[in-house]
Chain A
Amino acid sequence: MPFPLLNIAPLNSTGSILPHKIDPVPGPCNFTNITQKPQGALISQNLYSPLSLTLRSPAKALFTTPPAIDAMVGLSVGEKHFIKGGIEQDLRTDGRKRYTYRPIYVETGVIPQARANGSARVKLGATDVIASVKAELGKPSPSYPDKGKVLINVDCSPTAEPAFEGRGGEELSSELSVALQRCLLGGKSGAGAGIDLSSLSIVEGKICWDLYIEGLVVSSDGNLLDALGAAVKAALSNTALPKVQVASAASDEQPEVDLSDEEFLQFDTSGIPAIITLTKVGKHYIVDGTSEEESQMSSAVSVSVNRQGRICGLTKRGGAGLNPSVILDMISVSKHLSDQLINKLDSEIAAAEACEEDEF
């Protein structure tokens, strides 16, 4: 639990208990939600909640919330029922259906060219992420001499969520990085990768491009992985690699290269898959869950699907086990949804690029 927020709680409890409890849709700034419910609210909850028959003192209740995501979203029993019931009836708290995304907003070139070769910002409701691509010349690894290297790293800033401070964000960061790597980079040999590694090779076994893809979570309201996947795709389509002139050198020497200042090569992003996370709440699954909805999930499966409808990566989150047939069903649902999402993303990216060009 974040310390400074605990101090805010008594202030809130004086006036705004009721409106806060009735409104199941949190406002744009849900920091008030993060604090524990005021004392009065807890006791009134006890009256009708079957779960809290054992009387807990509010002070103890502060620590009973399970760790991780649930700790960040303080929800009352009523709110939890509201979310679950809504999902069951295909009408979520913000009016969406189970398979409807929040509006996606894409902006490219948010970081100046001198700092990064490509960048993009993706907003999905209140979730806000930035991805940047930095290209450097490097040496290919000896096991794959004809391929470039791509490193993906995600950073969860404490500005997004106080719980991300210090080591708290580390766990989520590494989980997201691994999931992104799995979804975009394919297997060890690079086969089936969304990013074509052989296109990054300049001189076989000598020089290649190293792409450093960095994701930053600016604000988090659920569905981080999908947003990051979209941001990486947008950032890569925004990436311009300088044209490389290779001065011919003896075969055993490191060849000299010359980077062009004027000619740039666009990166081909048509093969990059979209990531779709299906969050299972109760019996049903939803796409693009908010953090409130994600706190109620039993498990989530992230599937990355490319334009050809082939699965490029899959990861599962959440402790609860899943029946094999459910997983196969989730895969087919996400495959079905991928078409729409990829088209939507492509048009958003194209619009963002056009908008960026207008500015110059």
Chain B
Amino acid sequence: MAGKGAATPATYSPSLTTVKGKKKPPIFADDANWVRSDGRHFHQCRPAFLRTNAVNSASGSAYAEFGNTKVIVSVFGPRESKKAMMYSDVGRLNCNVSYTTFATVHRNQGSDSKELSSMLYKALEGAIILESFPKTTVDVFALVLESGGSDLPVIISCASLALADAGILLYDLVAAVSVSCLGKNLVIDPILEEESHQDGSFMISCMPSRNEISQLTLTGEWSTPKISEAMELCLDACSKLAKIMRSSLREPLSASEE
């Protein structure tokens, strides 16, 4: 795993920023002057650190660190599908998400990994050119080393990077970002503390260069204008995140040239 100081983490923040000033104790009040507990603005994402080739034995792997959320994803295959499976002229995708026992404050408190696995599958299946590897299976294993909020979007982004690293044909990289609704405010890339107090959440995974949303979920009560605002915010953040992901794919190449 790459050290933290290896590269300066690139920050990204979508436009549409309405800067809220003044420091105040971090309380979850419906207050326009409130500053988030990690000092970010409402519409500012955490610094993203992405690195490919984190696991040597895998065909492709990636490590992602967004604030305290640390995720490692390995991709194995394409390998022959199990004999028991029926013939398929398109490839199969197999996704699995698990939490380490020390990922959360209380042991084994991670979110339902089965649900996360199916969400990861749904977010990625539309981006992979499954026709390119018939009769075979690609395994995507994600491990959450530390859960610090917005786990699913980080897993999805990291997994698509690992797929690209493994040389699996993709239509586009999948970038995912979530937004929390706290009172009247929309808070992008929420940390764990914010997620537990949220009134609603909105998550998008998209393929920015195709301008396509591969998966989205929404919970809580939302009005239509708020949804459009959240979507605009997420899409902008996704396209900026995708740029960082792309550059992290190029990074090892430029290093070897030197």
Find out whether the CB atom of B210 lies under 8 angstroms from the CB atom of A328: no
Distance, CA A14 to CA B196, complexed state (A): 63
Q: Mark B13-38, 1 if CB is under 8 A from A, else 0.
A: 00000000000000000000000000
Find out whether the CB atom of A321 lies under 8 angstroms from the CB atom of B214: yes
Distance, CA A186 to CA B195, complexed state (A): 13
B residues near A320, Cβ cutoff 8 Å: 126
Find out whether the CB atom of A328 lies under 8 angstroms from the CB atom of B231: yes
**A64-B89 contact, Cβ under 8 Å, with A182-B219, A192-B221, A321-B206:** yes
Distance, CA A171 to CA B117, complexed state (A): 11
Contacting residue for A323 out of B197, B211, B215, B216, CB 8 A: B211
Q: Mark B87-98, 1 if CB is under 8 A from A, else 0.
A: 111100000000
Contacting residue for B200 out of A64, A191, A316, A322, CB 8 A: A191
Whether, in the assembled complex, A324 has its beta carbon less than 8 Å from a beta carbon of chain B, the answer is yes
Within 8 A of B (CB), among A312-348: 312-317, 319-324, 327-328, 331-332, 335
Within 8 A of B (CB), among A175-227: 175, 178, 182, 185-189, 191-192
Q: How far is the CB of B201 from chain A (nearest CB, A)?
A: 6
- Choose the segment among B69-77, B162-170, B222-230 that binds chain A (4+ C-beta atoms closer than 8 Å): B222-230
Whether, in the assembled complex, B10 has its beta carbon less than 8 Å from a beta carbon of chain A, the answer is no
Distance, CA A306 to CA B5, complexed state (A): 49
Find out whether the CB atom of A327 lies under 8 angstroms from the CB atom of B199: no
Whether, in the assembled complex, B115 has its beta carbon less than 8 Å from a beta carbon of chain A, the answer is yes
**A319-B122 contact, Cβ under 8 Å, with A188-B198, A327-B213:** yes
Find out whether the CB atom of B90 lies under 8 angstroms from the CB atom of A335: no
Residue pairs across A and B with CB atoms within 8 Å: the count is 113
Distance, CA A324 to CA B217, complexed state (A): 13
Whether, in the assembled complex, B207 has its beta carbon less than 8 Å from a beta carbon of chain A, the answer is yes
Whether, in the assembled complex, B220 has its beta carbon less than 8 Å from a beta carbon of chain A, the answer is yes
Whether, in the assembled complex, A311 has its beta carbon less than 8 Å from a beta carbon of chain B, the answer is yes
Within 8 A of B (CB), among A290-318: 306, 310-317
Find out whether the CB atom of B222 lies under 8 angstroms from the CB atom of A310: yes
**A187-B201 contact, Cβ under 8 Å, with A321-B206, A323-B212, A327-B213:** yes
Residue of B whose beta carbon sits closest to that of A303 = B218
Whether, in the assembled complex, A283 has its beta carbon less than 8 Å from a beta carbon of chain B, the answer is no
**A316-B122 contact, Cβ under 8 Å, with A63-B87, A324-B231:** yes
Contacting residue for A189 out of B126, B199, B222, CB 8 A: B199
Find out whether the CB atom of B88 lies under 8 angstroms from the CB atom of A66: yes
Find out whether the CB atom of A189 lies under 8 angstroms from the CB atom of B217: no
Q: How far is the CB of A345 from chain B (nearest CB, A)?
A: 19
Find out whether the CB atom of A178 lies under 8 angstroms from the CB atom of B115: yes
Residue of B whose beta carbon sits closest to that of A306 = B221
Whether, in the assembled complex, B114 has its beta carbon less than 8 Å from a beta carbon of chain A, the answer is yes
Within 8 A of A (CB), among B167-209: 195-201, 206-207
Within 8 A of A (CB), among B58-111: 86-90
Distance, CA A311 to CA B220, complexed state (A): 8
Distance, CA A189 to CA B211, complexed state (A): 32
Find out whether the CB atom of A314 lies under 8 angstroms from the CB atom of B118: no
Interface residues on B, range: 35 or more
Residue of B whose beta carbon sits closest to that of A325 = B211
B residues near A328, Cβ cutoff 8 Å: 224, 227-228, 231
Distance, CA A203 to CA B4, complexed state (A): 49
A residues near B220, Cβ cutoff 8 Å: 186-187, 191-192, 312-313
Find out whether the CB atom of A186 lies under 8 angstroms from the CB atom of B126: no
B residues near A315, Cβ cutoff 8 Å: 217-218
Distance, CA A312 to CA B219, complexed state (A): 6
Find out whether the CB atom of A316 lies under 8 angstroms from the CB atom of B199: no
Q: How far is the CB of A34 from chain B (nearest CB, A)?
A: 16
Find out whether the CB atom of B207 lies under 8 angstroms from the CB atom of A187: no
Whether, in the assembled complex, A174 has its beta carbon less than 8 Å from a beta carbon of chain B, the answer is yes
Distance, CA A319 to CA B207, complexed state (A): 13
Distance, CA A332 to CA B224, complexed state (A): 8
Residue of B whose beta carbon sits closest to that of A188 = B196
**A321-B86 contact, Cβ under 8 Å, with A192-B220, A316-B122, A328-B227:** no
Distance, CA A171 to CA B218, complexed state (A): 21
A residues near B218, Cβ cutoff 8 Å: 182, 311, 313-315
Residue of A whose beta carbon sits closest to that of B228 = A328
Contacting residue for B212 out of A66, A186, A322, CB 8 A: A322
Distance, CA A187 to CA B190, complexed state (A): 14
Find out whether the CB atom of B215 lies under 8 angstroms from the CB atom of A313: no
Distance, CA A133 to CA B45, complexed state (A): 42
Whether, in the assembled complex, A115 has its beta carbon less than 8 Å from a beta carbon of chain B, the answer is no
6 A-B Cβ contacts within 8 A? A64-B88, A67-B88, A187-B199, A189-B197, A323-B212, A328-B228
Beyond known contacts A67-B88, A321-B126: 11 more, CB 8 A cutoff: A63-B88, A187-B200, A187-B201, A187-B220, A189-B196, A191-B198, A191-B221, A192-B222, A314-B216, A316-B122, A324-B235
B→A interface (CB under 8 Å): 86-90, 114-115, 118, 122, 125-127, 195-201, 206-207, 210-224, 227-228, 231, 235
Report the 10 A-B pairs with minimum CB-CB distance, sorted nearest first.
A321-B212, A192-B221, A192-B220, A314-B218, A191-B199, A63-B87, A187-B220, A319-B126, A319-B125, A187-B219
A→B interface (CB under 8 Å): 1, 60, 63-64, 66-67, 143, 171, 174-175, 178, 182, 185-189, 191-192, 306, 310-317, 319-324, 327-328, 331-332, 335
